[in-house]
Every structure is written in C-alpha cells, then in structure tokens.
Amino acid sequence: MLALPLILLLLFWTAIHAIVRSLNSEKGSLLPTELRSSRPSRKLRGGTHVTARYFHLKIESSAWNRYHDSLIGKLVSRRFQRSSRALGYFYDAGVAFGVLGMLCAIGLLLWTCANLFTETFLRDSVVEVHRVVKRDKQEASRIDVRGSGSFVQAIIPGVTVPFSHITPILLAIFLTQVIHEVGHAVSGALESVPIDSVGTALTLIIPSAFVSFPGSYLETLKPASRARIIAAGPWHNAVFWIILVFLGWLRLSYYSLTLFAYEDVSGLGRVVLDVESGTVLDEYLPKGSIITQLDDMRVNGTDDVWSTYLAASQPATSDGWCVDKDTFFESPRSCCLERVAVSLLSCFTTDSDTSCLDAVPLLTKPKESVRCGSISSCEGNMICVRPTESAQLLRISVRLPGQEDDEIILWRGPKKEVLQQGESNEAEALQHIHCYTSSATWNTEASAQFVPAMAPLDTIRVGRVSQDGYVLTISLQSTSIALP
C-alpha cells in the first residue's frame, strides 16, 4: 500500500537531482568527473544558488539584499523615526512574549508528560456495557473511563487527520515559516543588520524558509537587540494566529473562509464534501454542510457511529412523539398492512395500536414537536407514538454553513442499503427510497407537496476528520422529495 507513494517520492527526487545536475553542467568543461563536487549546485542569475543533496533541496538568493538595505536606510532616517520607534516597541513585546511562551511551553510539556504517564496505567480501565433490545442482545459497547486526553492535538496526515490534508498542511507550514522569517528580517533591519541571503528549502516533502545574517554583525549587538531579532520570528507567528482567530470570530462565509483555512469539525459530525450537481439534493445539501445526527444518535467523535448505527440488526430505542389521541385513532391504518403500495403516510405505533400519520411535520420540526419516553409522558389528550420498524424512517440532522441550528432530512428506506451503497460506492438504484426535507424558510402552515425527482440518482459524499482519514460515499436514489 505504501509502495506507490514511495515510488512517486523517489521519482520526484530523481527528477529534482536531474534538473539540478543539468543546471550545474557546463558545456566544454574539462574537469574530470571525480574532481566535481558531490553536492550538485548551480549559481544562477541574481545571486541565486541551488543545492541538492540526497533528499534535501536548497535555493538561496542575495537578490533581496538591496530591498533589505533600502528598508534599513528608511528606518534610520528622520522621516520614519516614529515608525522605527513603534516597531521597536512592537518587537520588545515580542521578547516578553517569547519569555512567557517559553515558560508556558515547559509547563505544558510537563503537564502532557504527567497526563500520558497517568493514562498508561488507566489504559485498561474500561467497562463492558450490554443493552438488551427485544430478545436480541446488541454487541457490547466499550465505554472508556479515562480522561478526555491531552491538550496538545498532533496533526499527523493519515493518523490524526485524513492523508488528503497533507497538501494544505504543507502549505500552512511554508506560509508560517515565511511569516516567521519576515519577522527576523524586519527586526534585523531595525537594528541595521544586513542579510547575507534569503532562501527556501525542501527536506523530503517538508518545505522551509530561512534568512541568513552575517555572524560578525550579530556578535556586536547588545543582548536586547539580539533578543529582538531572535524573538521576532515566533512573535510574527503569534500575531498571525491572532489575526486568523479574529477572522474566524467574524464568521466569514464558508466559501470565502475555505480559500485559506479549514476547521476541525469532528466534534460536530461529518462534513458533506460533494453533492452531484443538478440533483434534487443539491439545493438542500450544499458543500460544507455537517451531518450531526442519525435519528437521535450523534455521529461526532472518532468512533464510526455512522456505520455501526446503519448496520445494526435491531433499531435502537429512542423517545417517541406526542400526538393528538383522536388524530391517531381516526387516521387510516392501511399503510401498516403488508404488501401495500408505497404511501405518503408512515406507520406509527403506541406498542399496542398502529396508525398512518404524516411523518414530515412530526419528525422534521423538533421545535414544534414534543418528545416522550412513554404514554404517561404526554399531557392532556396526547399519546406517545413511534415509527414502526416497517416504516423504515431515518432522520438525518444537517447543519448548513453559517447556521447554528440543524435542519432535518427524512429518508425512507432500508438503512443497511444506505450503508452498502456508501461502502461500495456503486451507482445502483435503491428500491422504494424517499427523501423528505424540512427547511426553516418554508411556510410551516403549508402542507408538504410531493413531486417526482427530476434526477434518478443523488450522490452525496460525506466525510469526517478521523484517526484513519475515513471518507464515506453514499449513493441514493430519490424517487420523491418534499418541496415548499
């Protein structure tokens, strides 16, 4: 499984060495091969120097030196005296931040070490929990009684985040390093220290950036000036982080924010990555929507609740809904009979009686519905009902981008077929699958209307941040949908 990435990596570095050697080779060179440098390099125009050795590529240039010298000249001039003084205060704050950050980092490392040491002895502290549903005993679930884990969350592609995140992670690393080195360069200009060169490097697949100062200048600086240059890099990163937090606090739209950032939403649920354009669900499930619940079961966290819940042989017990007793007993019961044509109504039960009700307003409007655990939980002339297993109803709670409240999509069909379609990603039509949606923008007094779906296949790609980088794809046929 790792063979293909390794082969591609070797081909990539082979191409890099070939390019560097071609740049390094000069026509008509009379030097024997053994006298040439074992580290292929090439000095290009503008003082740019390229070096490649094993899995390390370095490109450095002195072309930016004149711009840095120009910045030094402006900072020492009277015209920019106020700006120079303000920058001095700014980087003095960076020194204080560096000292405080060092102390906090040491404390955090000690706390993390103690936390890991404690978890080592509590690793086997789990409790077996059995739940009996009807006559079948569900698979035992394991409840971890350990703490919530370390404050530090490692970002490791393929381990703690999906491997597909490696590209934005590497870009983020390079961007933060560029901002880091700009801090060193500007603070060096404030102290009238010239630079030798600036450059970038690539080690295996990890990019980096650097600024080189002449050592003779740094040794002559006062300790305070030297501290400002050293602390300027991490101080720039801290300020950049504050700016990103502020942008997140502004709650920019999903589409503009995802141009340069992403957020870990594993604590909320699973993210809709794509919906086939032109389908009915394309209007109700935009990219970035978060599926938060299946019925009353939350799908957040690292456990694969999605697959476990959809593959369960027995439906999980959940609270019912309070409905008017007269409405329940006066409603038809034909949809509860076997071998009946597909109806717009769904079969509900009180454990002793059954009746056909409209599931859309009852199950998709949680703010207007009253939940109940038993018949005695309902007040007045109300009775507690639940969908029967034959009704095959599945409530999918979805949080749209930029919204705080969830909306509910109501699917009717076998849950196992949904899971099978998701795992195999086959474009096969499901039998008797219906989709009903409820939107907060609809007129709640208007009755739902059902029309045939224009597209035969709605493809939803649903994913979540997980330890194995699991991405689920669901293919569903929507034969009818509730519209305003």
In this prediction, residues 174-186 reach a mean pLDDT of 95
> In the predicted model, is pLDDT for residue 185 greater than 70?
yes
Distance, CA of 267 to CA of 466 (rounded, Å):
10
Within the chain, how many helices (H) and strands (E) appear? 11, 24
> In the predicted model, is pLDDT for residue 14 greater than 50?
yes
The pLDDT value given to residue 57: 94
Start-to-end C-alpha separation, the chain = 49
Give the other-Cβ count within 10 Å of 464's Cβ: 26
Query: In sequence order, what DSSP letters do the residues of 124-162 get, joined into one string?
Result: T-EEEE--EETTEEPPPEEEE-S----S-----BTTTB-
The pLDDT value given to residue 461: 43
pLDDT-wise least confident of 190-204, 208-222, 244-258: 244-258
Secondary structure letter of residue 455 according to DSSP: S
> In the predicted model, is pLDDT for residue 119 greater than 80?
no
What pLDDT band is residue 124 in, cutting at 50, 70 and 90? low
In this prediction, residues 259-288 reach a mean pLDDT of 68
Integer angstrom CA distances of residue 164 from 1, 262, 307, 473: 15, 13, 21, 15
The dihedrals phi and psi of 104, each to the nearest 5 degrees, come to: -65, -40
The pLDDT value given to residue 398: 86
The pLDDT value given to residue 58: 94
In this prediction, residues 82-105 reach a mean pLDDT of 93
What pLDDT band is residue 44 in, cutting at 50, 70 and 90? low
In this prediction, residues 111-136 reach a mean pLDDT of 62
The pLDDT value given to residue 152: 67
Q: Which one, of 138, 475, 447, lies nearest residue 274 by Cα?
A: 475
Specify the higher pLDDT residue, 64 or 456: 64
The pLDDT value given to residue 163: 76
Taking each helix axis as running N to C, give the angle between helix 81-121 and helix 65-76, from 0 to 180 degrees, rounded to the nearest 10: 120
pLDDT digits (tens, 9 = 90+) for 321-339: 999 999 999 998 888 887 6
Specify the higher pLDDT residue, 137 or 248: 248
Tell me the three-class secondary structure of 334-371, residue by residue: HHHCCCCCCCCCEEEECCCCEEEECHHHHHCCCCCCCE
Integer angstrom CA distances of residue 301 from 124, 258, 261, 401: 20, 22, 21, 20
Residues 6 or more apart whose Cβ sits within 8 Å of residue 421: 428, 430, 474, 475, 476
The pLDDT value given to residue 67: 93
In this prediction, residues 466-483 reach a mean pLDDT of 31
Integer angstrom CA distances of residue 212 from 69, 101, 124, 194, 403: 14, 24, 51, 9, 48
In this prediction, residues 136-141 reach a mean pLDDT of 39
Structure tokens at 304: 């694969």
Residues 6 or more apart whose Cβ sits within 8 Å of residue 157: 163, 164, 165, 166, 169, 469
The pLDDT value given to residue 159: 73
Residue percentage of the chain with pLDDT more than 70: 67
> In the predicted model, is pLDDT for residue 423 greater than 80?
no
Distance, CA of 472 to CA of 81 (rounded, Å):
59
User: Please, what is the average pLDDT of the chain?
Assistant: 73
In this prediction, residues 77-99 reach a mean pLDDT of 93
What pLDDT band is residue 454 in, cutting at 50, 70 and 90? very low
> In the predicted model, is pLDDT for residue 215 greater than 80?
yes
pLDDT-wise least confident of 31-35, 270-274, 445-449, 461-465: 445-449
Specify the higher pLDDT residue, 439 or 177: 177
The pLDDT value given to residue 281: 61
Specify the higher pLDDT residue, 401 or 421: 401
What pLDDT band is residue 396 in, cutting at 50, 70 and 90? confident
- Between the ranges 226-230, 241-245, 318-322, where is the mean pLDDT highest? 226-230
